[in-house]
Structure 1
């Protein structure tokens, strides 16, 4: 377990480690642990100057639960690369002993060997099994953004996930999984894009697509719209409101490029989704205006 000790990765910021192993190996003293590190879980420490992330919380939970445990659910999603998850959400593991401290949710059920993979030395549910579990157990609104991210990063398709329903007859949450999978879309590149796409379903106008390509004179993709209606040349883009001059320049240049092809661009921000802006009605009006022109 040397790779999990504090100074095992020269030149890189250390992750969680077992305090007892560090002391036994002579790398740290009990005083060091008290003064330079904080406990994420019992006997699992992280340096005081290292920010806890969903991925680091997942590793900490796996170290606490033991090498036979399997990370599942949100923790598995974090290990598979979804980095915007709530760092304060409880870690999720599967193991026989269901006793666990606050901050770890333990489930005890059988996982097929093909549902488990190795990620950075940890046992983790595969992408397919992770999507399967999150789609079953979370509400549709909570599940879809995470499913979008996992599908975007891995390229996994719905059929692969759905095949697990046949392999696990009688498992709960299949109706919820069916709804979440139907609404998931690997074209989303952020939670804001996921929520915007779900909201725009209420326009009642079919044909909404994601990651719409724009081609140059040689037939190569030179730009993409996050989502929109190609028939009506209406794009909906998500402004993540990043605090950088480069981001603001990109927003303006991207708008100009799409408009040069005769498209109308509607921008959506996080504050607009959570506020009183009637985005659906605004988009519907622009679509109807485009239809009248066409």
Structure 2
């Protein structure tokens, strides 16, 4: 039994993993009713959600915490834990949002010791409640992780009970794309889309012999310009930097020019990023047009 993640004290005692006396001592931190973890453990969102769910028997983890537990990387670092508790009244808890809602059996799933909202229900909830861009990030992440069509949300039964939220997530679905592989990729795509620069996401590239070369994060196929998102580790990790250089050379051998996209472009200088991207696309099109004369 792993005592470095939140656990039921009574279950750990029954399993012989610890004793009641040790639970009350300095070896463990008490997180809530019959809920403990090894002392000094720093809990991430998944750990906080697990602890909250254990302390409220019968609850279901929802929202960003459910997405995180389900393996979709879309939650902000400070995301609050959301618990769905049915129609009952539950005492408020610090750092936990309690939601009174009744879920069907199809809308919940057991996952790694807790019960969470299903991927589709989690998509629906986040699409209805988050700001537009963050909602698209969440839908992209869950749709990509579980190979779901975002369009399924348009026919989701709960939409009929939430017309206001339904109008909001219709716009989210229109902007969502299950091919996105990260939050920065989604946000970069939204920036480009609003500027009228709409690349193809995750385009596979093959050489003249039909051998797979790589997959471009973004591609303007008409001018063979690719955009590649490079997080900070692409700069600080030498091995990753060498792999990036090799990939760029491979794409160049197939006639593709690569435009690097950084976190600063997306999060700090979006207007400059859009201007630079538009200039790169226009220049590439002029270059290929001149070659064809």
Which TM-score band (shorter chain)? 0.7 to 0.9
In the alignment, structure 2 segments of 5+ residues that lack a partner are none
Matched, 1:286 2:277: no
Cα separation, partners in 2 of 1:24 and 1:233, compared to 1, 3 Å: same
Contact kept, 8 Å, 2:151 with 2:173, in 1: the verdict is: no
Contact kept, 8 Å, 1:139 with 1:176, in 2: the verdict is: no
Q: Secondary structure at 1:213's aligned position in 2?
A: strand
Matched, 1:19 2:9: yes
State the 1:49 CA deviation.
Answer: 5.5
State the 1:84 CA deviation.
Answer: 5.9
Partner residue, 1:153: 145
Matched, 1:56 2:47: yes
State the 1:223 CA deviation.
Answer: 0.7
1:35 aligns with one of 3, 26, 29: 26
2:151 and 2:83 mapped to 1: Cα distance? 25
Cα separation, partners in 2 of 1:48 and 1:226, compared to 1, 3 Å: farther
For residues 169-208 of structure 1, the aligned pairs below 5 Å read 169-171=160-162, 172-206=164-198, 208=199
Q: Secondary structure at 2:127's aligned position in 1?
A: helix
Contact kept, 8 Å, 2:82 with 2:96, in 1: the verdict is: yes
Matched, 1:211 2:202: yes
1:253 and 1:220 mapped to 2: Cα distance? 16
State the 1:121 CA deviation.
Answer: 3.7
State the 1:16 CA deviation.
Answer: 0.6
Contact kept, 8 Å, 2:150 with 2:177, in 1: the verdict is: no
TM-score (normalised: structure 1): 0.86
Matched, 1:241 2:232: yes
Contact kept, 8 Å, 2:202 with 2:217, in 1: the verdict is: yes
Cα separation, partners in 2 of 1:131 and 1:54, compared to 1, 3 Å: same
**In angstroms, what is the RMSD of aligned CA positions?**
2.3
Cα separation, partners in 2 of 1:238 and 1:108, compared to 1, 3 Å: same
State the 1:279 CA deviation.
Answer: 0.8
Matched, 1:275 2:268: yes
Q: Secondary structure at 1:35's aligned position in 2?
A: coil
2:23 and 2:73 mapped to 1: Cα distance? 30
Structure 1, residues 194-249: CA drift from partner, whole Å, max 9, x if none? 1111111133134x111110124553533100112111211111111113221111
For residues 222-237 of structure 1, the aligned pairs below 5 Å read 222-237=213-228
TM-score (normalised: structure 2): 0.86
Matched, 1:79 2:69: yes
Contact kept, 8 Å, 1:115 with 1:126, in 2: the verdict is: yes
Partner residue, 2:247: 254
Matched, 1:93 2:83: yes
